[in-house]
Structure 1
Amino acid sequence: MANQLYKQVLFFFFFFLSVSLLQSKSFNLKKPCKHFVLYVHDIAYDGDNKANATSATILNPMGLGDFDFGQLVLVDNPLTMDQNYLSEPVARAQGFFFYNGMTNYNSWITWTLVFNSTQHKGTMTIMGANPIMEPTRVLSIVGGTGDFLMTRGIVTLKTKLVQGNKYFCLEMNIKLYECY
């Protein structure tokens, strides 16, 4: 009987302890725990620029619409603190995007931002829909490693510069709401 009572008391103690630990982390969505702005520079491979290309189309099915539907692009783009492509990169956006809109320009992005600078070390993973023609697009930050261990937040993308199909620059306004 005493053994049974002991088990019940122990169960309730651990139950309330675990519930209180789960509820102790609160998020202030009005004030991020970290906030910074980076710029993505993408130079598309065109057959002649192997030395400085940062993205390449690896699958481009023909005849599936006017909006590059089905095109898959791998990227390894430098990230800088300003819009100048020649600035020192602080990270790289590595991953892919594919065009998934048959009636408009829309892409799905999956990038890992790889930081290896004196300011930050680690990775941050970004995923989400990117309606390219919208002035601003919001994607999810779903995790990270190193300085960004298990982080969550949002990144707001704005197109800053487009030069034909060969070069574009995006502003990434990064707001982290869960930082450890």
Structure 2
Amino acid sequence: MARTHFQTIIFITFFLIFTIVATAKPDFKFRKEKISHLQFYFHDVIDGPNRTAVQVAAAPSTNTSVTGFGAVTMFDNPLTKGPNPMSKMVGRAQGMYAVASQQELGLLMNMNFVFAEGKYKGSTLSVLGRNAVLAKEREMPVVGGSGLFRFARGYALAKTYSLDPIRAIVEYDVFVMHY
């Protein structure tokens, strides 16, 4: 069966598009992959005039639940070099956590570490995972990033440094592979 003029134009168009896409170079300059270790402190202030975390939703049974199951909190927390709230700020942790366990204090964490200082200024790391708050050490996956952390993957270890009714200070050790 002979090709019609229309079929030939369609074939040539798809061939050209495929050739352009297959040979196009991404704007990302590929570099050697490396592993970085970052350490900083997360300051979650849940009460008082300078709060950095606010509950935005709750289930009807949240207040009667032993764990607060169903509570959702948004946060914009400072990240500092040291555990002292007055130590140098290196960025912010922005996101939300939800109480996702009925038996223990287990949070679903969805957050971005937004770096504002040093060589990572303007870059972010995204973390999504379970945080069993009362465990001595918690591990959560790093699922991506931006800027110098483009194509990032790795894990974040969280350890509670101090905890009181107003503030939680959490030490983060983050190990991330990136280009």
TM-score bucket of the superposed structures, by smaller chain: 0.7 to 0.9
Out of 37, 40, 43, the residue aligned to residue 39 of structure 2 is 37
CA displacement, residues 52-104 of structure 1 (integer Å, 9 cap, x when unaligned):
21100111334342100000000000001110101121010000000011111
Q: Are 1:56 and 2:54 an aligned pair?
A: yes
Shift of 1:167: 0.4
CA distance in structure 1 between the aligned counterparts of 2:157 and 2:93, rounded to whole angstroms: 15
Q: How does 1:119-134 map to 2 (within 5 A)?
A: 119-121=119-121, 122-134=123-135
CA displacement, residues 4-45 of structure 1 (integer Å, 9 cap, x when unaligned):
xxxxxxxxxxxxxxxxxxxxxx98xxxx71112110001014
Which secondary structure does the structure 2 equivalent of 1:147 belong to?
A: helix
**Please, which runs of 5 or more residues in structure 2 have no aligned partner?**
1-31
Shift of 1:114: 0.6
Q: Are 1:101 and 2:77 an aligned pair?
A: no
What TM-score do you get using the length of structure 1 for normalisation? 0.76
CA distance in structure 2 between the aligned counterparts of 1:118 and 1:103, rounded to whole angstroms: 41
Which secondary structure does the structure 2 equivalent of 1:128 belong to?
A: strand
| Corresponding position of 2:145 | 144
CA distance in structure 2 between the aligned counterparts of 1:153 and 1:107, rounded to whole angstroms: 19
Identity of aligned residues (%): 26
CA distance in structure 2 between the aligned counterparts of 1:119 and 1:42, rounded to whole angstroms: 25
Q: Which runs of structure 1 show a deviation greater than 3 angstroms over 4 or more consecutive aligned residues? A: none
CA distance in structure 2 between the aligned counterparts of 1:69 and 1:127, rounded to whole angstroms: 18
CA distance in structure 2 between the aligned counterparts of 1:60 and 1:107, rounded to whole angstroms: 14
CA distance in structure 2 between the aligned counterparts of 1:167 and 1:66, rounded to whole angstroms: 20
What TM-score do you get using the length of structure 2 for normalisation? 0.76
CA displacement, residues 122-162 of structure 1 (integer Å, 9 cap, x when unaligned):
11000100111111100000110112111110000000100
**Please, which runs of 5 or more residues in structure 1 have no aligned partner?**
1-25
Contact 2:36–2:175 (CA<8 Å) still a contact in 1? Answer: yes
CA distance in structure 2 between the aligned counterparts of 1:116 and 1:134, rounded to whole angstroms: 30
Task: Tell me the amino acid that sits aligned with residue 146 of structure 1.
Answer: G
| Corresponding position of 1:111 | 111
